[in-house]
Amino acid sequence: MSKSAIQQIINLSNEENRTVLTEIESKQILQHIGIPVPDFRLATSADEAVELAQFIGFPLAMKIVSPKIIHKSDAKGVMLNIKNESELRSSYEEIIRNAKNYNPNAEITGVSIQEMIKGDKEVIVGMYRDAVFGPVLLYGAGGIFVEVLRDITLKVLPLADRDIENMFSEIQASKILTGYRGSPPADLSSLKEIIQKIAKLSFELPEISEFELNPVIVYEQGNGAVALDARIILDHRKSGVEAS
């Protein structure tokens, strides 16, 4: 893990009096600790978005980047499956317009241009700090099902390997990952590594009060997993221990 790079991101948010990292910043931290994310670039204009698309390739996903807009979908700040330059330009302008309508006072950093990744096995991995128990890990069915089904399980950190394996079987959607009606099992070993890295970061950076990866796409066994979206909330009063 790059200690200085992560600390720079946290220090910048502190200087700007922000407790919520942008998706770009959150994914940069994921990259530093070795959690796979889609290829992403920050565009500050439609022209720049077109230039960046040449490096990533179509189809693309586009998301508003603003420290004041946490729930991007609520602001209609997410566009998916962008197939060409014309759609890219119009989507960029629409996302910016929607964000301004949603919160006229929000500082808009730009729009994240991302590799479009699809998968049918989605989970959520998160962490929050309980006043009594300390860091608590959250795992469950991800994507749109989180708020609807609440199919999740919680474990107080630290976790042994067996604890993580038990979490996989404790949710109702476990059969989707282990193989159901002939479908291949998901790459649980890669998912386990993601959980272990989140747990490690939770202890090394006490200023992280909340951590959410949703969704995490888990591919077939041997093909890995990737975090499509990330949100990190900080409590700068608890700083003092650096990542290593």
Per-residue pLDDT tens digits for 224-242: 999 999 999 999 887 654 4
pLDDT of residue 148: 66
d(CA 81, CA 92): 13
117-143 tens-digit pLDDT: 988 899 999 999 999 999 999 999 887
Does 215 score more than 90 pLDDT? yes
Q: Read off the pTM.
A: 0.90
SS3 92: helix
Query: Could you give the percent of the chain with pLDDT greater than 90?
Result: 81
Q: What is the pLDDT of residue 238?
A: 72
The whole-angstrom separation of Cα 43 and Cα 114 is 10
Same fold yes or no, 39-116 and 122-238? no
Q: Of 36-45, 70-79, 103-112, 175-184, which gets the smallest average pLDDT? A: 175-184
Residue ranges per structural domain of the chain: 39-116, 122-238
Q: Is domain 39-116 classified as CATH 1.20.1250.20? A: no
Structure confidence at residue 237 (pLDDT)? 82
Q: In b/e form, how buried is each residue of 8-23, taking b as 16+ CB within 10 angstroms? A: ebbeebeeeebebbbb
Q: What is the DSSP letter of 183?
A: P
How far apart, in whole angstroms, are the C-alpha atoms of residue 240 and residue 132?
20
Higher per-residue confidence, 1 vs 213: 213
Instruction: Tell me if the domain spanning 122-238 has CATH number 3.40.50.1460.
Output: no
